[in-house]
Homo-oligomer: A and B are copies of this chain.
Amino acid sequence: MDQSISDLKRTTLADVAARAGVSKMTASKVLRGTGSISAQTRERVRAAARDLSYVPNRLAGSLSSNRSHIVAVVLPSINDAVFGDVVSGINAVIRPEGYLTFIGESHFDTDLEDEIIQTVLSLQPAGMIVTGGIRRSERASQLLKSWPCPIIQIWDEQDAGYDGNIAPSHADAGRMIAQHFIEKGVRKPAYIGAELKKDLCAARRREAFKEVLTGVGLELIDCTDEDMPRQAGSGSKLIQDLMRQHPDIDALYCLNDAMALGALSWLHGAGFAVPDQIAVAGFNGTSFEHSVRTRLTTVHIERHALGQEAARAVLASIRGEVFAPREDFVATLVQGNTT
C-alpha cells in the first residue's frame, strides 16, 4: 500500500502563513513578490517558508490564476540529434523566464500524436510548440486551432495556420544537394529513405532533389522503405541492396545524416571509395557536423537557434506582444572531407 506516500503531508501555504503569523493571502503575496507588504512581514514569511522547506503547489496555483507556466512541445522524438538540439534551444530561452517545457513524443505516428496533443493540452499550457511535417489528424488540428493558447509550428515550412511558423526550407535543402551533385558531374544518382509517408519534410526534400535532377535529364534510382526506422542501420541495409542491383551508382542522397552515416560505413567496409567513386549526402543530423571529419556532405540547419526562435515567438505571443521571427533559417551546404 502506498500510505507512505499519502500520510506524509506536504507543507502548504497555510502552514507557512501560520508559522509567520499572517494570512494565506499575505504569504502568497510575499512569495510571489506582488502587492505591498512591509519589510518585516516579508522577512517573517520568507523565513517561515525557508524553515519549512515550502514548495508551492503549482497545480493549485495555475488552476487558481488560470495561468500556467508550462510550454508544451510536441515532436517526433527527443532521442534524435535534430530535435534534441531544438529542445535544448527552446529550454535555453524559456527556463530563465520562469517557464517549463513539457515534451511529448509522437514518433511520427498520427494516432499517437493525436493522443499526445490531447494529453499536453490537459495540462493547460500557456503556449505550445508543435513540430510539423507529420500527417496530423483532423481532430488534433481542430483542437489546436480552437485552443486558447498561442501555438507555434516549427520544422515544416508549410504554414498550417497556427500562431506562427518557424522552419527552414526543406525543398531548398533537397535542391542544394541535387545542385551539388550536378556540379560534381554525377551520372547515376540514387536516393534512400524510410518512412517517407510519415515524415513529410523528408519527402519534400526528396521531391525537390528529384525535380532538379530530372530537370537536367538525370534519372534517379529511388529506394524507399516505409517500414524501416530512419536510422543508421537502415542506411547500411538499403545501400547494400542498392549497390547489388546498381553497382555503378555514383552519388547517394539519404533521408538524413544517420542513414547517410550508415550507408557511408557500409560503403567504406565494402571497399567503395567515397567520395571519388560514390558521393554521399545526408541532411542535418549529427551533433558532430563541425568537429568531426567525415566524407559526408550534408545540409546544415541551426537547430538550436531555431528552437530559441520558436521559444521567443511563443513567449511573445503569450505576452500579447508582436514578434517578427527571423526568416533566415536557411539551409547551408556542408561539404564532406575528401582526405
Contacts and interface: CB of A to CB of B under 8 A. Distances in A.
B100 A102 contact: yes
B105 A88 contact: yes
Contacts of A287: 79, 81, 231-232, 258
A88 B258 CA distance: 17
The number of chain A residues touching the other chain, given as a range, is: 35 or more
Interface string A90-116: 010000000011111100000000000
A124 B59 contact: yes
A1 B264 CA distance: 53
A53 interface: yes
Interface string A277-314: 00000000001101111000000000000000000000
A269 B284 CA distance: 22
Interface stretch (A141-149, A154-162, A206-214, A243-251): A141-149
Nearest to A8: B148
A88 B77 contact: yes
B149 A5 contact: yes
A8 B149 CA distance: 10
Contacts of A318: 2, 5
A118 interface: yes
Contacts of A103: 101, 103
17 contacts: A2-B320, A4-B320, A53-B146, A55-B118, A55-B121, A59-B63, A59-B123, A78-B78, A78-B88, A88-B105, A100-B123, A102-B102, A232-B287, A233-B290, A258-B288, A262-B288, A264-B292
Cβ-closest 8 pairs across A and B? A232-B291, A8-B148, A79-B88, A2-B320, A79-B84, A233-B291, A58-B122, A265-B292
